[in-house]
């Protein structure tokens, strides 16, 4: 007969199985984010923002490692830690997307209010280039 701990380990393995099956892709994305962050750091402006993709890459890679441990050992603390890391990853990404959307909206408002956008379109039309 199964003990309570064995039953809990089986449950952890069952609920972690979907993410465990994606751990390879999670590690791949994590490594690419870290490499991208390192390349950003090679430029003067990029060094300011390079920590963001590096941090995201470390989070995703760490989540994949914790999910691997949770699936193989049935450890609920590893499973919870993996979920926290994935949750933080999506929170950071969501905040970055919101910042990007707000900055885009501000840029469009400034461009329209200063006439920059209409001047740019006018210059393109007067340059003789035709777009179809």
The per-residue pLDDT for range 37-86, each reduced to its tens digit, is: 999 999 888 888 999 999 999 999 999 999 999 999 999 999 999 999 99
pLDDT, tens only, 73-123: 999 999 999 999 999 999 999 999 999 999 999 988 887 788 777 777 777
- Residues 6-27: tens digit of each pLDDT: 888 899 989 999 989 999 999 9
Looking at the 3D structure of the chain, how many domains does it have?
1
User: Quick check: is 4 in a domain?
Assistant: no
Residue 79 in domain: yes
Single pTM value for the model: 0.77
Query: Is 105 inside any structural domain?
Result: no
Does the residue 129 lie in any domain?
Answer: no
The DSSP line for 19-81 is HHTTHHHHHHHHHHHHHHHHHHHTSTTHHHHTHHHHHHHHHHHHHHHHHHHHHHH--HHHHHH
Residue 51 lies in a domain: yes
Domain that holds residue 68: 13-94
Residue 1 in domain: no
């Amino acid at each position: 007969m199964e003990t309570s701990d064995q039953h809990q380990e089986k449950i952890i393995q069952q609920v972690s199985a979907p993410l465990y099956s994606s751990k390879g892709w999670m590690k791949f994305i994590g490594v690419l984010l870290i490499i991208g962050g390192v390349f950003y750091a090679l430029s003067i402006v990029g060094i300011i923002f390079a920590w963001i993709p590096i941090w995201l890459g470390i989070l995703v890679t760490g989540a994949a490692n914790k999910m691997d441990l949770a699936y193989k050992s049935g450890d609920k603390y590893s499973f919870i830690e993996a979920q926290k890391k994935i949750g933080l990853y999506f929170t950071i990404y969501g905040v970055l997307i919101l910042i990007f959307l707000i900055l885009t909206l501000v840029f469009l408002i400034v461009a329209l209010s200063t006439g920059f956008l209409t001047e740019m379109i006018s210059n393109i039309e007067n340059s003789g280039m035709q777009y179809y």
